[in-house]
Amino acid sequence: MACAIAGVAKGGRLIEYLRSNNIRAVVCNGYRYISYYRVIRYCHRIGLPLFVRSDSNIQNERSLSPIRRWFKARVYNWCCTACRE
């Protein structure tokens, strides 16, 4: 739980940095951390161009439970939609 709270706080600091430094585009290396989700959501909401680089292999992750695979697919689809718009 402490890691999740720290991740939320880190996302807030990243967003504040984007605001205060007139950043025109963001490149994110993955979407694994909650801080990245906050930044992706922020960029999507304000229309800031965003590129997320990731190496997802959802189709071949047989070791994940069906629920975790379903959840990861939803997160991946959301992230792709947020980056596309």
53 forms beta bridges with: 29
Long-range contacts of 71-77 (CB under 8 A, 24+ apart): 75/31, 76/31
For position 12, what pLDDT does the model report?
93
CA–centroid distance for 84 within its chain: 13
Phi, then psi, of 32 in degrees rounded to 5 = -80, -30
CA distances from 24 to 8, 19, 28, 43, 76 (A): 22, 10, 13, 10, 24
Q: What is the pLDDT of residues 34-76, one digit of tens each?
A: 888 899 999 999 999 988 887 666 666 777 788 888 888 888 8
Residue reference for tokens 């959840």: 71
pTM of the full structure: 0.74
Beta bridge partners of 52: 28
